Each structure stands twice: as C-alpha cells, then as structure tokens.
A and B are shown apart, each in its own frame.
Chain A
Amino acid sequence: LGIDLTSVLHSLGIQGNQQGRQRVLDTFQSPWVETSRSEVEPRFFVPE
C-alpha cells in the first residue's frame, strides 16, 4: 500500500506546490535520511 510520502518529500526539500519548484538533485546528500545529516558542497564556478 505504500506510505504517506509527505514526510519523505519534506526530507528531500521538495515543497508541495508546483510553483517555484526547486531542483534537489544538485544538493542531494544521500539516498537515506539517516546519512543526510550534513550538507554537501554543490557545484559552483569561480572565474579566474
């Protein structure tokens, strides 16, 4: 029957509304909440 995905989506940083949908894979820490306690440095670019 699956589970209520609300808390899973919240743990991913996915907000309910369609508007202003933000990408989450670029800052994805880990597939599991338990191993996602600290943030990871996303890609960035600094000109010379």
Chain B
Amino acid sequence: EYSALQNPLFQPGLDYWLETKRTLLQPHETMPAEMASQLESSLLNCPDSLDADTPKLYYNSLSLPHPTSIFFPNETIRLVSNDPVDLAKNHQKQNDIYSRTSMGRIMSRFDLDTLFFIFYHYQGTYEQFLAARELTIRGWQFNKINRCWFYKEVEKLPPGMEQSEEISWRYFDYQKSWLARRCGAEFVYREEEFERI
C-alpha cells in the first residue's frame, strides 16, 4: 500500500533493493557462486586512489599542463612516498598533514619566485594553498588589504649600539615590478590586516 511501491519511477529498482534486505536478514551460510563472482568482480574493479581523488571540472587556463611527449601520461601522478619526515623542524606547519605529501615536499624546494607565481596565478587551488603554507613556513605574512606578502627582516646590530636589532619590512610587489621591495618608513604593521594562516 505504500505510495513509494506504487510509483513507477521506483521500478524495478525497488524490487532488487528488497531482495538485498532478504539477504541481510538471512545471510547465506556459505558463499553461493553468484555472490563469489560478484565479490571477485568488485575486487577487479576496486576503486583506486585516482578514483578517490578530488574532482576537477573546470581548468584555469594557466594551469593546463605544458605539452609533453605523448609517452607521458596526461594525469599528474603524485606518487606516494613514505620516506620518514625529519621531525626536528621548527615550524608547527612542518608537522601537519601536508608535510608528508609529495606536493608539500616539492614546495619546500621551490624558490620564492615560483611560490609567488603559484600563489597569484592558481587562485582557489590546492597548489595556491600549499604555496601560501610554504611562504608562511618561511616567515612571510599575507596582507588581506593590499593582497601582498610581507617579510619582517630582523638585523642584529653590533653590541654597544642603542638597539640590539634593526627591523625592516619587505613586501613582494606582484602587480608591477614582480620583485621584493623595501617598505617605506611610513609602514606600520597592523596585525589585524594580516591573514592568520
């Protein structure tokens, strides 16, 4: 009498679904041939890590892969490596879930130029996230207002001077010169302007 069972849209799926309930209530004592064959088939088709990867439907034009030899796969293969991580590192981020990934490790070898390029041109991506993480590990901070990365340079002064250290700030000019420039004397650091990463 249930309306669902009257609805033709649920046929014939509902019948098959009911069959599985029967099996749940009374599982077969020993595995029948049909079940064994289905299980084998499931094993053969077992989803792998590529199947489980995050879906990407739209590709940012700049992030399309460069033309490569036809003998190379189109898919980027991020190979799993379980090499131990050096745990004697300073930054807490170096012990997070990304530290052991191949991308996280590769980023640690990129120079600043590359990191800034990824950050500004791969908006909204995992790669941008990892570049931001790596920049943070290296001491850079992101200003939410002008969208620039800043770096605080602390220079130890020789003993006997009035101050023990001299602080100067640099920022990366992504809009014009694509260079790190010194901040002018008028620069004031306001913590609330900076993203807490």
Contact = CB atoms under 8 A, between A and B. Distances in A.
Nearest to B56: A41
A30 B87 contact: no
Contacts of B48: 29-30, 35-38
A6 to B, nearest CB: 12
B128 A39 contact: no
Given A38-B77, A41-B126, A15 B49 contact: no
B95 A38 contact: no
B46 A35 contact: yes
Interface string B179-196: 000000000000000010
B82 interface: yes
Interface string B101-136: 111000000000000000000011110111010000
Contacts of B126: 41, 44
Nearest to A41: B54
Interface residues of A, number: 26
Interface residues of B, number: 35
B89 to A, nearest CB: 9
A32 B54 CA distance: 19
Interface in A1-48: 10-13, 15, 19-20, 22-23, 26-27, 29-30, 32, 35-42, 44-47
A40 B102 contact: no
A38 B50 contact: yes
B79 interface: yes
A29 B125 CA distance: 20
B101 A42 contact: yes
B53 interface: yes
A47 B96 CA distance: 19
A42 B87 contact: no
6 contacts: A29-B48, A30-B46, A35-B46, A37-B77, A45-B129, A46-B128
The 7 A-B pairs at the shortest CB distance, nearest first, are namely A29-B49, A35-B48, A39-B78, A41-B54, A20-B87, A44-B129, A26-B97
Interface of B: 46-50, 52-54, 77-80, 82, 84-85, 87, 95-103, 123-126, 128-130, 132, 144, 195
